[in-house]
């Protein structure tokens, strides 16, 4: 009886040792997909707990650099993850590209403004265009680069409304507070009843999302397990469901 009791206690202690709460900081565009992935992950590993933190990739990097207790970082662009690597916050060997996305131009679903080309944004009746802040929001950088390539940025800059993340741009368009906005295809897809895609915008570089464990994570094994789940078939299936393309 004592032997059985001891075995049960050891199993209990072992389970407690494995249990870990991790914080995952992820780009705002991953909100819906990551909420479902975290739920599924916790169902598969009941001893684990995942806390999610969403914001623009640049803002998340600043939080991590200032010591925020984060275990996993998922960025919407390579540039931000490059910066994290240069600052020694993540290791190149633990960095993985896991999905891709596309840049689109949207307008309110009931808009009567005809937009067939990017330079149609020069129309006088288009007065406000939502764009993520290029200094900290990857979708804003992709947008500015696309407009510069099309030689439209100088003419349109005064019309732009800077947003804190891609979801804020989406909300502005959905509420008709702006005439148009630049978001990811996956963001537009979750509000088909309120916004319509008028153009898919070519980008000079692929919109590829990297994920990595934070170097000083106190929950390294749990962080690695979550990333492996993200890269696995169940994780990828959820991402595909929300319109992301395979990385």
C-alpha to C-alpha distance for 119 and 203, rounded to whole angstroms: 16
- Boundary (domain end) residue, out of 186, 201, 216: 201
Same domain, 108 and 193: yes
**Average pLDDT over the chain, rounded to an integer:** 93
| Lookup: tokens for 243 | 């319109």
pTM listed for this prediction: 0.88
Give the domain CATH number at 177: 3.40.190.10
Q: What is the dihedral of CA 225, 206, 59, 30, to 10 degrees?
A: -50
How many domains does the chain contain in total?
2
Residue % of the chain over a pLDDT of 90: 91
pLDDT band of residue 15 (cuts 50, 70, 90) is very low
pLDDT of 1 > 80? The answer is no
Same domain, 196 and 109: yes
For residue 22, report the phi and psi dihedrals to the nearest 5 degrees: -115, 150
Same domain, 123 and 182: yes
Report the residue count for the chain: 247
Same domain, 58 and 131: no
**pLDDT at site 5:** 39
Domain coverage including residue 185: 101-201
């Amino acid at each position: 009886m004592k032997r059985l009791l001891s075995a049960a206690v050891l199993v209990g202690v072992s389970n407690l040792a494995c249990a870990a709460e991790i914080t995952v900081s992820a780009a705002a565009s991953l909100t819906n997909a990551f909420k479902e992935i975290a739920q599924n992950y916790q169902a598969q590993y009941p001893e684990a707990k995942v806390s999610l933190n969403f914001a623009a990739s640049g803002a998340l990097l600043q939080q991590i650099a200032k010591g925020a207790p984060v275990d996993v970082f998922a960025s919407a662009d390579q540039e931000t993850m490059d910066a994290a690597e240069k600052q020694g916050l993540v290791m190149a060997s633990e960095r993985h590209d896991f999905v891709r996305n596309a840049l689109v131009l949207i307008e309110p679903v009931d808009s009567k403004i005809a937009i067939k080309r990017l330079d149609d944004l020069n129309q006088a009746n288009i007065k406000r265009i939502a764009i993520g802040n290029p200094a900290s929001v990857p979708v804003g950088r992709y947008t500015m680069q696309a407009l510069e390539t099309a030689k439209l940025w100088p003419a349109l800059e005064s019309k732009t409304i800077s947003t804190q993340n891609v979801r804020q741009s989406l909300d502005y368009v959905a509420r008709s507070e702006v005439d148009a906005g630049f978001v990811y295809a996956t963001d537009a897809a979750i509000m088909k009843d309120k916004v319509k895609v008028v153009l898919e915008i070519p980008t000079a570089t692929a919109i590829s999302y990297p994920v990595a464990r934070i170097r000083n994570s106190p929950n390294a094994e749990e962080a690695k397990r979550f990333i492996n789940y993200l890269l696995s078939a169940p994780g990828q299936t959820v991402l595909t469901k929300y319109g992301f393309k395979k990385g």
